[in-house]
Amino acid sequence: MALISTTFTDITDVQRKQLEALWELYTDWNSKINVISRKDIEHLYLHHILHSLGVLKILKFAPKTKVIDVGTGGGFPGIPLAIMLPEVDFVLVDSIGKKVKVAESVAQSIGLRNVTTHHTRIEALKEQCHFVVTRATMPLAELVKLSRHLVSKEQFNALPNGFIALKGGNLEGELSSFAKRAMEEDLYPFLPDPYFKEKKVVYLPL
């Protein structure tokens, strides 16, 4: 939590309290449902919450932007982003109902009014958004194929509408089919912990 405060120095008292509340909520849910690996729950803030905020290295979404989080699991990256960007609307989608239930419960518990959830497969979703975000759920080409119908043509952000994915390791093969359209950024030292040295955030305009 301290690393989040030092990386994002403009967080408000409300946001700080919401972030702090996530520890008890996720550890409690994790004791009932395996939302986060049992070995990894102790690294909740570093591996999950701060990692989710790596999306902001590419773009801080403008107010009234609508973002769909594909394969959200228990709410990553959607919930940490929704805390940091209260004027942006986040739609959290997953095909596993019990994980959607966790995300919905956590959002309600900390008073997030800019989060809605859907238990469905992404290709069946009918909503429109400005950006699709995801955290290592599937290869980028598959993500684009399954969710490009979600992305609206209405533009008002600093970057064109499209896809933002948190990834790890060598992405040369995965990004090769997109020529030079995909933008790949290292998360370190934007997120100043050695854990992020192999982590990246990828942006692909539609």
Residue set of the binding site for S-adenosyl-L-methionine? 71, 76, 122-123, 135
Q: Which residues of 93-130 are buried (b: 16+ CB within 10 A; e: fewer)?
A: bbeeeebbbbbbbbbeebebebbbbbbeebeebeeebb
Binding region: 71, 76, 122-123, 135
